[in-house]
Amino acid sequence: MSIIAWIIVGIIAGWIAEKIMGRNDGLLMNLVIGVVGALVGGWIFGAFFDAGDATSGGWIWSIFVAVIGAVVLLWIINMVRGRKAR
């Protein structure tokens, strides 16, 4: 996946995750949360599925995995900071 694709998937996944978690972050923070979430989601899904299955699903699968990872990341951040989701 090219860097442009990572940015697009990161922004979309970060935005969806912030809406799920009831946060209001900016575009840059959505990008960071989405890209780091994609790494977390890839690690989580890689633990449960064959590496080929976890990485070969196209744009929709990539966004899904990134959103799941970003939600997990935001949940952990909220737990550490003591914040509650709205």
CB within 8 A of 70, min separation 6: which ones? 13, 14, 16, 17, 33, 34, 36, 37, 38, 40, 41
pLDDT in tens, the chain (86 residues): 678 888 888 899 999 999 999 888 888 998 899 999 988 988 888 888 765 555 567 888 888 999 999 999 999 988 898 766 55
Count how many domains the chain has: 1
In a domain, 14, yes or no: yes
CA contacts within 13 A on the Cβ side of 42: 15
In a domain, 25, yes or no: yes
Look up the pTM and report it.
0.81
Its domain, for residue 36, covers: 3-81
Residue 44, CA distances (Å) to 18, 47, 48, 83 in order: 19, 5, 7, 24
In a domain, 86, yes or no: no
In a domain, 62, yes or no: yes
